[in-house]
A and B are shown apart, each in its own frame.
Chain A
Amino acid sequence: MLFSGRRRKLAVNAQTEIYGQPLQFYGQPPLENISLSEFETFAVDRLKLLKTVETLGVSYVKASEQYSFKLMNESKSLNFPYRPEAGSMDDRKPQPGPTEYDKRRKDHISHFILRLAYCQTEDLRRWFIQQEVDLFRHRFSELHPKQKLEFLHRNNLQYDTISVEEKKALQDKLISSSAGISGITVEDQDFYKVPFQDALDVVRMRKVYLKAGYVYIPHQDIVTIVLNDFRTRLSKALALTARSLPAVHSDERLQPLLNHLSHAYVGQDYSIQKNVGKISLEQIDSLSAKSFPLCMRQLHQALRENHHLRHGGRMQYGLFLKGIGLSLEQALQFWRSEFIRGKVDADKFDKAYAYSVRHMFGKEGKRTDYTPFSCMKVILSNPPSQGDHHGCPFRHSDPELLKQKLQFYKVSPSGIHQILELVKGMHYQLACQKYFELTHNVEDATFSLNHPNQYFTESQKLLGTGRDMKRETDGAQRSQENASTKGSSTAREAAAKPPQQIAEMTEELDSFFQDA
């Protein structure tokens, strides 16, 4: 794509306008060309920022003072915008370092680069959206009240407020619909009447009064509408970007870089089968006690006891087994031998269940090779209901039952206490990791857990190479470093190419978004 002089000027003007605002919805892709080295640093820095968002979200209450403070510091040190009050254009006294304009530009461009890297699978999209939404929430809450209103105006998010009389009539309902609302706040604040489709998060969690299709949102919670809108836009945009992805994939220079970016922070992709056939079916019972995370151990046990698992459990457990190396033939044999001990006979199994096992291995239907579920997926999607054994025990079991189970597995009382505390704070993966440490006799696990298959691999590593191994470097950090050095080596390779090609590449980049 070639810009004429005039077109370019227009583009730059549009850009200037966007960067005049402290916060944006990322509706317009960047239109300028950037160098490959900038491309690389921008992307890596934003990943660092999003990773911080994730870690802070686990360790602190979102929007608490400490959370905001830490997030602001990280933004500052990575040269992202962090002070909403700073005007971008009128940095009068020249300060050392990047200007506000530069920071907003970096924010804009880096967001769009990561869209490319993170639109590829459902797991990646989920992670990216979650972190971007949290980052957005933080930034929006830092705005001044006046700026918030301006933002709503500019993005056409305006709704009717209800009259004083209506407010009086509904007072009781409004108060009992939300924990943070008292009689006084009802009187003091405006309430907006918003179609429920525009405020799904608060509808879902029943945090708001709903009548005849409208939710009544107090001014203090207006952020929920903004976030709802942001989330919807972003997930639509990612779906569209994913469709233009074949073009990106065929680009030899972009593709490795994007892959490194996406793997750097969400961990390994367990859909690629390694170790196929290294595990025998006889080993599974003992492995389940030694090296399975609790979620899988629970499923295994339920399967052995009931000779059956419902769909949710079959998916979660079946894909996990595939991930640890069961071949299709082994999987078929495994499920069949267990099911036919229950109510299902061999014929029925072959008719009704074998298909779905083959499906998991991408041998039927759409032939997509299904990826084993990550912890996030297990914890967030498809919660177990009556008759189900899937899900994450740290998230979906009664604390009382979890406690009994841990006692049964001989975890020490102090260990149980620590785990339950983490569960109480909703840090399910950390609780699981604690369980790992306690049952493997290590003090500090050298990884940060985000996948049941990772749990298994790490466990096998420890059990295979002897216990009590101490590792010097922090594993999570190390893998990050690895990833970014790998990333920059691709960048170096690419940088070695003639400059003309690089210019071409970035021009192509914006054409991907144009298509979308």
Chain B
Amino acid sequence: MPCSDYDPASLPDLLPLYYRRLFPFSQYYRWLSYGGVQKNYFQNREFSFTLKDDIYVRYQSFSTQSELEKEMQKMNPYKIDIGAIYSHRPNQHNTVKSGTFQALEKELVFDIDMTDYDDVRSCCSAADICLRCWTLMTIAIRILDRALRDDFGFQHLLWVYSGRRGVHCWVCDEAARKLSSAARSAVAEYLSLVKGGEETVKKVVLTDPIHPFIKESLAVVEKYFPQYALKDQDILGRKESVDKVLALVKELQQAFQKDKIPESRWEHVLDQALDKQGTTKKGQHFEKEIMLQYCYPRLDVNVSKGVNHLLKSPFSVHPKTGRISVPIDLKELETFDPFAVPTISLICEELDRPKPGEEQSEDTNKNEDEKDAAEKRKVRDYKRTSLAKYIKHFDQFLDTMARSWKGELLKKSDLQKDF
């Protein structure tokens, strides 16, 4: 394990280095300009910065990549949030007539936070996570990614580790960016199954017929449930969690007293469910309800609803853990380890120890104008750190999206030719 001891007190020293030599500005700008298909798309975007001592500045906006770069290098934000694309430049919002300054578009976003699972995980609570409960995030990504693609037809989904205890999803398709807030909340509600707060014991209720979306989601949960819930979380072994399950299926009190082995207790649950299916109508899906209550993704609907809601930006640093908010490659989702995500102290350190062999890459000696050279130097900088593979994944994501913009631009220029 590389040394990644991170000390929050060192943040003010590390941030300038990070923003000067490591932050992937060109990819970032490329992402948020969306191929220049729409005018002023980057320029009218709101950024907000959290500075030292929790000073929060909203409505920042930038006209070019270099302005963004300069500003970030000057302010060295502890945290960066991305907001909506507005009708006017956000930094001029005070000068336009009130009521006309409006949030027009934004990616459709989702926020899944481990604290929302506190009633169903026993390994940790609140802001803490471990590899055992991280499975919940894996399940969440699998379920939502499938639904957003297959059911809603979206293609450009960027999954990002929040830097601490959760994940974010940025749906970047044009159609998603243009959704009204009513539509966003409808999507979020379609995707929500676990309902109710502290006053609800049974948080998932299924009715017949079971919707295809729920069937698909169940198929995902079923894959993880035995290992995750029965083994790792031991929900049918540890007394407190057994009591919680029993609150959902009171009938099994006796059976559970006789049988202590989690796996066979779960078989009792399944048997009981099968029995019920033969007789009554009500509650016949309770084994599915239990699985969903323990594993189904818990969304913060409020984050998804508003067009103007801000969300922490990819590649922002988490001030508490020092970890970078990195994009997650779904091809490697099963092995994604939040604790292996580089911290700002680690990558800054890596900068200082040059890796042998990489120093002399072939293009060093070619003639380039200066700006290009500076750009190249920066590329070489991050390539020497463990941030590289995440930026590479981000590049791939952008390439795929670029192919779809090309289609858009072609269509537009074809139209123009017609005139």
Chain A residues proximal to chain B, CB less than 8 Å: 173, 175-179, 196-197, 200-201, 203-206, 209-214, 232, 235, 243, 298, 302, 351, 382-391, 393, 396-398, 400-401
Out of A197, A243, A391, A400, name the residue touching B197 (CB < 8 Å).
Answer: A391
For this complex, 29 residue pairs linking A to B, each with C-beta atoms less than 8 Å apart, are A175-B209, A176-B210, A176-B215, A177-B211, A178-B209, A179-B208, A179-B209, A196-B152, A197-B179, A203-B187, A205-B189, A206-B214, A210-B190, A211-B150, A211-B153, A212-B151, A232-B180, A302-B198, A383-B195, A383-B196, A383-B197, A384-B197, A386-B119, A387-B116, A387-B198, A396-B197, A397-B200, A398-B201, A401-B199
Contact string, B189-207, partner A, CB cutoff 8 A, digits 1/0?
Answer: 1100011111111100001
Known: A203-B186, A204-B190. 17 other contacts (CB 8 A): A200-B182, A203-B187, A203-B190, A204-B185, A210-B151, A212-B150, A212-B151, A214-B153, A235-B182, A243-B99, A382-B302, A383-B196, A386-B117, A390-B197, A393-B199, A396-B199, A401-B199
Which A residue's beta carbon lies closest to that of B152? A213
Task: Please classify how large the interface on chain B is, using the bins under 10, 10 to 19, 20 to 34, 35 or more.
Answer: 35 or more
Within the complex, the shortest CB–CB distance from B219 to chain A, in Å, comes to: 14
| Contacts A204-B186, A206-B190 given; does A213 touch B115 at CB 8 Å | no
Out of B54, B202, B210, name the residue touching A351 (CB < 8 Å).
Answer: B54
For B207, list chain A residues within 8 Å (CB): 179
CB pair A176 B195 closer than 8 Å: no
4 nearest CB pairs, A to B: A213-B153, A384-B197, A388-B197, A212-B153
CA distance A201 to B194 in the complex (A): 19
CB pair B150 A385 closer than 8 Å: no
For A209, list chain B residues within 8 Å (CB): 212
CB pair B199 A389 closer than 8 Å: yes
Within the complex, the shortest CB–CB distance from A507 to chain B, in Å, comes to: 25
| Contacts A176-B211, A210-B152, A214-B153 given; does A200 touch B183 at CB 8 Å | yes
Of A210, A211, A235, which is in contact with the most chain B CB atoms at under 10 Å from its CB? A210
Which B residue's beta carbon lies closest to that of A388? B197
Which A residue's beta carbon lies closest to that of B197? A384
Chain B residues proximal to chain A, CB less than 8 Å: 54, 99, 115-119, 150-154, 175, 179-180, 182-183, 185-187, 189-190, 194-202, 207-215, 298, 300-302
For B175, list chain A residues within 8 Å (CB): 213
For A204, list chain B residues within 8 Å (CB): 185-186, 189-190
For B116, list chain A residues within 8 Å (CB): 385-387
Within the complex, the shortest CB–CB distance from A391 to chain B, in Å, comes to: 7
Which B residue's beta carbon lies closest to that of A400? B201
For B301, list chain A residues within 8 Å (CB): 385
For B115, list chain A residues within 8 Å (CB): 386-387
CA distance A391 to B195 in the complex (A): 12
CB pair A401 B200 closer than 8 Å: yes
Of A213, A388, A391, which is in contact with the most chain B CB atoms at under 10 Å from its CB? A213
For B200, list chain A residues within 8 Å (CB): 396-398, 401
CB pair A397 B199 closer than 8 Å: yes
Out of B54, B198, B208, B215, name the residue touching A389 (CB < 8 Å).
Answer: B198
For B199, list chain A residues within 8 Å (CB): 298, 384, 389, 391, 393, 396-398, 401
Which B residue's beta carbon lies closest to that of A298? B199
Which A residue's beta carbon lies closest to that of B182? A200
For A173, list chain B residues within 8 Å (CB): 212
Of A176, A177, A390, A393, which is in contact with the most chain B CB atoms at under 10 Å from its CB? A176
Which A residue's beta carbon lies closest to that of B205? A398
CB pair A396 B196 closer than 8 Å: yes
For B202, list chain A residues within 8 Å (CB): 398
CB pair B197 A386 closer than 8 Å: yes
Which A residue's beta carbon lies closest to that of B208? A179
Of B153, B180, B197, which is in contact with the most chain A CB atoms at under 10 Å from its CB? B197
Which A residue's beta carbon lies closest to that of B247? A400
CB pair A206 B213 closer than 8 Å: yes
Which B residue's beta carbon lies closest to that of A205? B189
Within the complex, the shortest CB–CB distance from B148 to chain A, in Å, comes to: 10
CA distance A201 to B187 in the complex (A): 10
For A206, list chain B residues within 8 Å (CB): 190, 211, 213-214
For A396, list chain B residues within 8 Å (CB): 196-197, 199-200
CA distance A204 to B183 in the complex (A): 9
For A179, list chain B residues within 8 Å (CB): 207-209
CB pair A387 B185 closer than 8 Å: no
CB pair B197 A210 closer than 8 Å: no
Which A residue's beta carbon lies closest to that of B299? A385
Within the complex, the shortest CB–CB distance from A299 to chain B, in Å, comes to: 11
CA distance A204 to B186 in the complex (A): 4
Within the complex, the shortest CB–CB distance from B347 to chain A, in Å, comes to: 31
CA distance A232 to B187 in the complex (A): 16
For B209, list chain A residues within 8 Å (CB): 175-179
CB pair A386 B118 closer than 8 Å: yes
Of B154, B196, B210, which is in contact with the most chain A CB atoms at under 10 Å from its CB? B196
Within the complex, the shortest CB–CB distance from A449 to chain B, in Å, comes to: 20
Within the complex, the shortest CB–CB distance from B128 to chain A, in Å, comes to: 15
CB pair A384 B212 closer than 8 Å: no
Within the complex, the shortest CB–CB distance from B306 to chain A, in Å, comes to: 12
Which A residue's beta carbon lies closest to that of B147? A210
CB pair B118 A211 closer than 8 Å: no
Within the complex, the shortest CB–CB distance from A73 to chain B, in Å, comes to: 34
For B300, list chain A residues within 8 Å (CB): 385
For A302, list chain B residues within 8 Å (CB): 198
Which A residue's beta carbon lies closest to that of B202? A398
Which B residue's beta carbon lies closest to that of A402? B199
CB pair A210 B213 closer than 8 Å: yes
CA distance A397 to B119 in the complex (A): 16
CA distance A384 to B200 in the complex (A): 10
Which B residue's beta carbon lies closest to that of A242? B99
Out of B189, B198, B213, name the residue touching A384 (CB < 8 Å).
Answer: B198
Out of B179, B189, B213, B298, name the residue touching A386 (CB < 8 Å).
Answer: B298
CA distance A137 to B210 in the complex (A): 27
Within the complex, the shortest CB–CB distance from B334 to chain A, in Å, comes to: 26
For A196, list chain B residues within 8 Å (CB): 152, 183, 186
For A385, list chain B residues within 8 Å (CB): 116, 194-197, 298, 300-301
Within the complex, the shortest CB–CB distance from B141 to chain A, in Å, comes to: 19
